[in-house]
Amino acid sequence: MNAESFKEFKKVSEELIHSEDWFSFAVAEFEGPVGERINRYIFHHPGAVGVVPIEDGKIVLVRQYRPALEMEMLEIPAGKLDIEGEEPEKAAHRELIEEAGLDASRLEELCSFYNSAGFSDEKTVIYLATEMTRVDKIAASVEEQYMTTERVPLEDVYELIDSGYITDAKTIIGIYSAMRFIGR
């Protein structure tokens, strides 16, 4: 099958199953290249941003509790695009302040990716933050109230990934993209 054959797939219908503040869940029917019909569940997500803040030779990471996993994770500051009309870069600034207590005068877009293309349309945009100043954190959730920050030397971040200590996908993608961007 070549790439051209994928153009022959088309959505026939979609039925909303459930909707909340910022997400929805639906079942959609698709028609394949020779008329076959398939149903797929789709989690619609507004998208997200992640920020790799680097200051003084260290990456600033946040440690927060993740209820779905019932554990704490070490991650880059990140969050949903859940404010109507908010551009990703503005959301990145907001999340950096909320989670790390940092405001960046410089953000560089590093990459974007689809988190789980098999069932969700969520897309995450990753930024590099530099030239930062400390500001008061503005926790927007219960988890963020208990979030802590950790500064990891650049020379140690690969080992944290390789050892399985950092397992969050956006964090791994963000760190590798940032390190490549800065030539490390």
Residues catalogued as catalytic: 143
Q: Which helix (H) or strand (E) holds 120?
A: none
Split at pLDDT 50, 70, 90, the class of 5 is low
Split at pLDDT 50, 70, 90, the class of 3 is low
Q: Token pair for residue 12?
A: 């026939």
The pLDDT tens digits for 6-21 are: 678 999 999 999 999 8
Split at pLDDT 50, 70, 90, the class of 141 is confident
**Cα 141 from Cα 144, distance rounded (Å):** 5
Ordered structural domains, the chain, with CATH: 3-44 (no CATH), 48-181 (3.90.79.10)
Q: What is the mean pLDDT of residues 160-170?
A: 97
Neighbouring-strand partners of residue 158: none
At 75 the pLDDT is 98
Do residues 74 and 115 lie in contact, with contact meaning Cβ atoms separated by under 8 Å? no
48-55 and 123-134 beta bridge pairing = parallel
Q: What is the mean pLDDT of residues 48-62?
A: 97
Whether residue 24 is predicted with pLDDT greater than 90 in this model: the reply is: yes
The pLDDT tens digits for 100-110 are: 999 999 999 99
Lowest-pLDDT choice from 14-18, 80-84, 108-112, 122-126 = 80-84
**Cα 62 from Cα 98, distance rounded (Å):** 11
Q: Is the dihedral of CA 160, 48, 22, 135 positive or negative?
A: positive
Residue 13 Cα distances to 30, 36, 37, 49, 56, angstroms: 7, 14, 11, 30, 52
